[in-house]
Structure 1
Amino acid sequence: MPINHEPLFDVLSQYDIKVVSIRNESYKDKKGVWWIQTPDEYKILKKISNSEDTFKYILSAAEHLRKNGVNIPAVYKTKDGKDYVNINGTCYVLYEAVEGKNPSYNSPEDFRAIVRELAGFHAASVGFSPPDNTKPKIHLGKWVEQYTEQVEDMNRFYQTELEKSENDRIGKVIIEEFPAFYERAKQAIEGLKGKEYQDWVEKVKSRGGLCHQDFAAGNLLKNPSGKIFVLDTDSITIDIPARDIRKLLNKIMKKNGKWDLEILRKFIRIYQSENPLSFSEWTVVKFDLMFPHLFLGAMNKFYYKRDKEWSFEKYLKRINEMTALEKTITPVLENFDSIVYEEINQRKD
């Protein structure tokens, strides 16, 4: 639906507010964000890409987290007390607008706040069970199958490059780099077939647990009093905490330009102070970091042309950058167990 055909006034008429102005923040056909100015304050209107049943699950997960101390923007009720407006099968929701700025990985204070907030998010998610009338997102227990599918999908593109009589510059990079990453992926998958992953999955199955899926500085706001708010919970899924830990570490190290043992050590120490994991659980994080998500993601982006506006040069740059970054993780993987062991025992002392 074109942006100018969105039923914004129909949606907003169902709320007890006076609209002064509307400004679009972002828009893709299935989802959008608008700033709604009222006489007293701004509010945020979101168009949701999920089905109504999945969105009901997302709202219930967010409410569980709020009740357990996670700062997530409040949802405004409609005139008839509903959490959202459904127009022709599409859901729209009105959130409070939080004042603040994105925290920075480079600030020691912000770094500590980000990692503590992630650990708190995972601790707060324990006990969550999706309501019966909802359709939850679930990644729990599916890693081996999903990771195998991802790497074998990219292996097919690698095999195609090998069969070509002539390769472009990206093809040459793939031929050169893919075999080592393929071996690393297979090693990671073998690790995830072990008892450590299965035990953690069973633990979350019985206790409940949520992952944000994009817990990063760009989806956090630090308000003037220093409180961290967690935004964009639309992708929230049922899974073990390792998923968020790996994604955030990848983002931090990408920003840093390379993997760094001291940054990793600080991350583990801060996380352990809020939501202690066992040595076995950190082993699962290690296997997830071993799987070359960033390299395979860059490959996937290119071969499936996921960004229509990207030029060949931009795809090449991304693949080269992710290749270089992934290669710097070797000393981290080699020292991972000893760092975790030290941090766990330091807490015991």
Structure 2
Amino acid sequence: MADIRDDVREWTGEPRLDVLLEHYYGLQLQSAQPYAGVLKVETDKGAYAIKRFRKGEEATWTLVEQVAEHVKQAGYIIPVPTLTQQGKRHFPGFAHRYMILPWQDGQQMEKWDRDGWLQVSRHLALFHTATRDWESEVDGATCLHLGKWTELWRESRRQMAIFQMAADLAGERQEMDELWLNHSIYADTMVDNAVQYLEQAGGDRLCLETSEHGKVCHGNLHRRNVLRTAEGVQLIDWRHLIVDVRARDLAQWLIYAYGRTGKPEIVVPLLRAYQSVSPLKEEEYQLVYAQFLFPHRISHVLYQTYDRQKYTTRQAEAHLNQAVTVEEKKLMLIRRFPDLIREAFGVTVPKVDWL
């Protein structure tokens, strides 16, 4: 046990994790190993994943539990935190707060093949379909975005203006300030285009109308959150789960696939695979396209830098440079998407003028 304690202390900063697990869960720690951002622990009652429980996540995990209970009726399983013996989702440690979830066997999707891409698309459709008649009980949570795209995007534009002013008026400009000012006009233009396009497509009314096909999104689709299992694939890490229409998840998934492959054409087989489970309405393609237009990565970096002050100057520069690169690379997908879906599905999506 001493060796396990030493290893766990090195990995997590927790000197007596075994004592905490026994006290809060009645679990006897047998072994531990870091794995893909979590700590896998073997106990006398099975394997678990230990994750940090971050400040402000209470409402999100309440939402996850509600959605998990609902989709279970359709045979879709979302792992939820195992409650402590005191009925809590998390427990305090020496370094941080933590929660434990049942361990899911599988391998991360390190290398993508055609079958893997298609499996995830079909699996995503199954999840969205299972949320069609779900109703939220989490009042006022920040994870409720259904029918609020215009409001949220305009608020992001307002924040960008404040961040521009902060950078412009800084007594001693940092390199991050100069970098943001250099790209601010581009970001502003993208937000304005996204809002205008959304409003012309039908705005938040359209989002609400399409919610009958799915009301909840995973919210963080990438390879580290997909497991290959004996049954196929499984999505993990649900802490970014958000109440919104499926077009949001689909757009993120298509952008990610394009980023990994460099081929705009990848969207066609992925959309076909998704629709083999749940067909899309013609207007939903416009919502996907509107999501393409919005510079999500840039907006996120700016918020984390100027509002939350999460990054050092050097970290902020690196994140913003990466975000700009991603957004600029996305332009090829934005240009090609209307033509690709017209040829493949006979759907016409208006293209923004400057493209």
What interval of TM-score do these two structures reach, taking the shorter chain for normalisation? 0.7 to 0.9
Which residue of structure 1 aligns with residue 252 of structure 2?
247
The answer to whether the 8 A contact 1:137-1:237 is kept is: yes
Q: Partners in 2 of 1:55 and 1:6 — Cα distance?
A: 26
Asked if the contact 1:279/1:340 (under 8 Å) is kept, the reply is: no
Q: CA deviation at 1:191?
A: 2.3
Deviates most, 59-68 or 321-330: 321-330
AA paired with 1:274? Answer: V
In structure 2, do the counterparts of structure 1 residues 6 and 202 end up closer, same or farther at CA, with 3 Å as the change threshold? Answer: farther
Distance 1:294 1:78, change over 3 A: closer
Question: 1:20 — aligned with what?
Answer: 30
Match of 2:228, as an amino acid? K
- State the alpha-carbon separation in 2 of the partners of residues 168 and 309 from structure 1: 7
The residue type paired with residue 101 of structure 1 is Q
* 1:33-52 → structure 2 map (5 Å cutoff): 33-39=38-44, 41-49=46-54, 50=56, 52=58
Give the CA deviation at 1:319.
4.6
Correspondences of 1:295-310 after superposition (within 5 Å) = 295-300=298-303, 303=306, 306-308=310-312, 310=314
Unpaired runs of 5+ residues, structure 2, are: 1-11, 349-355
Q: Quote the Cα distance in structure 2 between the aligned partners of 1:212 and 1:282.
A: 19
Over the matched positions of the two proteins, sequence identity in percent amounts to 19
Matched to 1:271, the amino acid is Y
Residue in 2 aligned with 1:70?
76
What TM-score results when the alignment is normalised by the length of structure 1? 0.77
1:120-170 per-position Cα deviation (integer Å, ceiling 9, x unaligned): 110111222235799683111111111112133224444666779998776
Of 44, 59, 65, 1:59 maps to 65
Q: Distance in 2 between the 1:167 and 1:77 partners?
A: 48
1:1-349 to structure 2, matched below 5 A, reads: 3-4=13-14, 9-22=19-32, 33-39=38-44, 41-49=46-54, 50=56, 52=58, 54-73=60-79, 76=82, 84=89, 93-104=99-110, 106-131=112-137, 137-158=143-164, 174=180, 177-193=183-199, 194-195=201-202, 197-204=204-211, 209-223=215-229, 225-256=230-261, 258=262, 260-300=263-303, 303=306, 306-308=310-312, 310-311=314-315, 314-315=318-319, 317-335=321-339, 338-339=342-343, 341-342=345-346
Q: CA deviation at 1:330?
A: 3.9
For residues 188-241 of structure 1, the C-alpha deviation after alignment (integer angstroms, 9 at most, x for no partner) is 21222242641331453x776211111322112112x24222211122221111
The 8 Å contact of residues 164 and 180 in structure 2, kept in 1 or not, is answered as: yes
Tell me how large the CA RMSD over aligned residues is: 3.9
Structure 1 unpaired stretches of 5+: 28-32, 345-349
Name the amino acid aligned to 2:336.
V
State the number of aligned residues. 332
Q: Which amino acid aligns with 2:292?
A: L
User: 1:47: how far off?
Assistant: 4.3
Q: Any conservation in 1 of the 2:63–2:138 contact (CA below 8 Å)?
A: no
**Structure 2 counterpart of 1:331, one-letter code:** R
Indicate the SS of the match to 1:140. coil
